[in-house]
Amino acid sequence: MAAAVVGGGMRRKLQERVPLRRTALLADFVVLFLFVALLARRVAGLDGGGAAWRVALACEAWFAFVWLLNMNAKWNPVRFDTYPENLAERGSIDELLAVDMFVTTADPVLEPPMVTVNTVLSLLAVDYPAADEKLACYVHDDACSPLTCYALREAASFARLWVPFCRRHGVAVRAPFRYFSSTPELGTAGGNEFLDDWAFIKREYEKLVRRVEDADESTLLRQGDGEFFAEFMDVERTNHPAIVKILWDNSKSRAGERFPHLIYVSREKSPSHHHYYKAGAMNVLARVSAVMTNAPITLNVDCDMFANNPQVVLHAMCVLLGFDDEIYSGFVQAPRKLYGTLKDDPFGTQQEVIYKTLGSGMAGIWCTFYNGSGCFHRRKAIYGATPNSSIGARREGTTDSLPPKEFENKFGSSEELKESITSILSGNLPVEPIVDISCRVEAAKEVATCKYESGTRWGREVGWVYGSMTEDILTGQRIHAAGWRSVLLETEPPAFMCAAPIGGPACLTQFKRWATGLFEIIISRNNPILMTVFRRLRLRQCLSYLSIYAWPVRGFIELCYALLPPYCILTNQSFLPKAPQDVFGIPLALFLTYNTYSYMEYKKCGLSVHAWWNNHKMQRITSASAWLLGFLTVLLKTVGLSEAVFEVTPKEKITSDGNGGGNDDDDDDKVDLDLGRFTFDASPVFIPVTALAMLNILAVAAGAWRACFGTAQDDLPGVSEFMACGWMLLCFLPFVRGLVGKGRYGIPWSVKLKASLLVAMFVLLCRGK
């Protein structure tokens, strides 16, 4: 698979696929054996088990199925090592592919402009030969905010100082807010000259931060550059024409200032057209960049995800160019790494173990998922082409092509776009880049209109796929179903870093959005099973996707299982074997083995037992809240009773000293906070877990009362149900504290009232049995 011979000699490899040792294989089968033993005992006792026994059988069968899916995903883990220093052997920079870099932002309040500015500056400063000719950065602003556009224009001006400074001194971290968060070491190469340079650039950055944070939208529109902001006058966020502005054209720059193009894009919006959230924005960026720079590779990052490794594009190129067959690198995904994280991951947002276990295992079957950001795509794969195909629009003298009418029906009517797509699909890319991109602005606006996609296959067979809030997973699945494979890009230092959601509302909002999108895929025509039967998605890839798509369904299943202990206590039944019985050891052994196995995975990843417990606790909370609500949201949407709403996760504000600050709404928020404690608001996402916490407290109290004061004739449930309720209360401890907490650490009364009504309904149901 690796390219080898050049000019009669061996060429040093650019990448290497390294198999990793699978140490937990025996433990996998032990857990599976215990699941089978438990299910066999359930089936044998169905006749006298009752309704709780049958519900337990269904839930435990689901858990066993999910365990099998995870075993498949983890079976043969691999790592890809990259060697960017070997790229120099290729002799000419012409072999290095051009890259169009996409940044998306949706809300200038939840995603402050300075967050986007730092991301953009880090991308403009990456190391790449002839970066000014081969790289271009496009920022899509879904809010059509003049503040964001102004901030990016100011960032372009600052980049004239920042980019040469980074290259001159070999700066390691090229997002200014992170770089200036610490002082340089006194022994830094360059001595006083470097320190003077560092102090000057930091002062200029602080000026940039003040200008951006002090900017006011109305002032910009009234007193700013009238011609520059004219297109923003009288626009509404959901009703405005397409805006494309070239904020930096490197062809017009002076010597020593050359860095990638910077283009601001805000697609046209109209109340009469669905805009398809981020997927729609990404398709606009794909088309706009195609008519302006048309790089064969694209990189997309979120507005809070900066380039942490300055050689990240070179590392990606090692994979993209490191195979003889392009099928092995349809896209290259960097793992999600967070900055600003709290010790021991109290909110379960880092997902480090998932990326190291499931991630490396999926890389072993060439099925690394597209995670929505930090991903390099072949533009050819985005256009829906199959690997090694060279099909374009039919021209005179060609046969391997689509008829012009079919080509237009697939991609749209823009002549400039059709020409650029033809060059990508045919592989006949121009040697020289477009010199004057300003002549393509009107063509870019044409492909950014609402009506452009009407009657085409954008959002279905071409581009980012519509129909799910997790458009990233769905788009990656479409690319895999076309026959492409994908690679996990792990570098040291990490390729990209993004902001960690902090607090209960922020992390659960993100998890709910993911669960909603994943369940939308399961019940759609894009189901991976159908992709395996009718397309080219391989069986193990299908099973790997199902292991992730199971999350929202797991929320409903885990809720049913979590209700069994209090139900049995309140109705004097049992769904778990009692201690004197021989089979009591099976569920106990499964419980202990599974949790020991889980802890050992965390220990292997260098994490503490406290981190393991926090993640285990948050999995139970997330399952009963975010995953469950995502599941119910899609069900209600399917029957026409609700509509899924895309919720933007708030990003931390970037301050001039490089630290993150919270989004303060009032004076009470400005006091020092214990960021590790769970915070609450009136969101419905907190209702199910609050109800479960109340219910388990009630069940333990009722069972204890009956055990102490009941008659000898009472058919009491076994100790297992009490242990299960106690374990659930430990997992829901943040909510138990929240029931008596105050302020943002206390559960609002509106949530407690709704949860109490659910508990009352459940108790009435139990009394009716």
| Residue 729 near residue 693 (C-beta atoms within 8 A) | yes
Question: Which of 307, 284, 298, 297 minimizes the C-alpha distance to 140?
Answer: 284
| Token representation of residue 523 | 């019940």
Inter-axis angle of helices 146-169 and 113-124, nearest 10:
40
Give pLDDT, residue 712: 47
pLDDT tens, residue by residue, 463-501: 999 999 899 999 999 999 999 999 999 999 999 999 877
SS3 at position 570: helix
Q: By mean pLDDT, which of 209-218, 245-254, 378-387, 659-668 is the weakest?
A: 659-668
Mean local confidence (pLDDT), 531-559: 95
- More reliable by pLDDT, 699 or 500: 699
How far is Cα 314 from Cα 487, in angstroms, rounded to an integer? Answer: 15
Give DSSP secondary structure letters for 340-362. SPPTT-TTS---HHHIIIIIHHH
Q: How far is CA 303 from CA 113, 309, 375, in A?
A: 9, 17, 14
pLDDT tens, residue by residue, 641-667: 666 555 555 555 555 444 554 444 444
Q: How far is CA 496 from CA 303, 372, 430, 605, 662, in A?
A: 12, 13, 30, 19, 22
Give pLDDT, residue 399: 38
Partnered with residue 248 across adjacent β-strands are 262
84: pLDDT strictly greater than 50:
yes
Dihedral (CA of 645, 649, 655, 661) sign? positive
397: pLDDT strictly greater than 50:
no
Mean local confidence (pLDDT), 594-604: 94
Give pLDDT, residue 184: 79
Please state the separation of Cα 593 from the chain's center in Å.
31
Q: Which of 100, 304, 345, 472 is catalytic?
A: 472
How far is Cα 220 from Cα 224, in angstroms, rounded to an integer? Answer: 4
Give DSSP secondary structure letters for 58-81. HHHHHHHHHHHHHHHHHSS-EEEE
Assess whether 142 carries a catalytic annotation. Answer: yes
List CB contacts of 721: < 8 A, sequence separation 6 or more: 564, 565, 568, 569, 574, 575, 576, 703
How far is Cα 376 from Cα 330, in angstroms, rounded to an integer? Answer: 9
132 marked ligand binding residue:
no
Q: In whole angstroms, how large is the CA radius of gyration of the chain?
A: 28
Assess whether 472 carries a catalytic annotation. Answer: yes
Give pLDDT, residue 540: 95
Place of tokens 């092509």: 401
Give pLDDT, residue 649: 58
- More reliable by pLDDT, 578 or 195: 195
600: pLDDT strictly greater than 60:
yes
Give pLDDT, residue 665: 44
pLDDT tens, residue by residue, 174-204: 999 999 988 876 555 567 888 999 999 999 9
Please list the residue range(s) of the chain that carry CATH number 3.90.550.10.
85-336+371-500
- More reliable by pLDDT, 41 or 331: 331
pLDDT tens, residue by residue, 508-533: 888 999 999 999 999 999 999 999 99
Partnered with residue 722 across adjacent β-strands are none
Q: Which of 100, 141, 142, 304 is catalytic?
A: 142
277: pLDDT strictly greater than 80:
yes
Burial 729-766 (b: 16+ CB within 10 A, else e): bebbebbbebbebeebbbbbeebbebbeebbeebbeeb
Question: Which of 646, 658, 657 minimizes the C-alpha distance to 110?
Answer: 646
Neighbours of 149 (CB within 10 A): 23
Place of tokens 């998306």: 104
pLDDT tens, residue by residue, 282-330: 999 999 999 999 999 999 999 999 999 999 999 999 999 999 889 999 9
SS3 assignment for 628-687: HHHHHHHHHHHCCCCCCCCCCCCCCEECCCCCEECCCCCHHHHCCCCCCCCCCCCCHHHH
Question: Which of 522, 428, 433 minimizes the C-alpha distance to 469?
Answer: 522
302 marked ligand binding residue:
yes
278 marked ligand binding residue:
yes
| Residue 138 near residue 285 (C-beta atoms within 8 A) | yes
Partnered with residue 660 across adjacent β-strands are 654
For the chain, the average pLDDT equals 87
Res. 23 pLDDT band, cuts 50 70 90: confident
Neighbours of 408 (CB within 10 A): 18
| Residue 77 near residue 361 (C-beta atoms within 8 A) | yes
| Residue 764 near residue 706 (C-beta atoms within 8 A) | no
Q: Give, for 378, the enclosing helix (H) or strand (E).
A: strand 375-378
Q: Provide the CATH topology of domain 85-336+371-500.
A: Spore Coat Polysaccharide Biosynthesis Protein SpsA; Chain A (3.90.550)
445 marked ligand binding residue:
no
SS3 at position 20: coil
| Residue 460 near residue 383 (C-beta atoms within 8 A) | no
Res. 543 pLDDT band, cuts 50 70 90: very high
582: pLDDT strictly greater than 60:
no
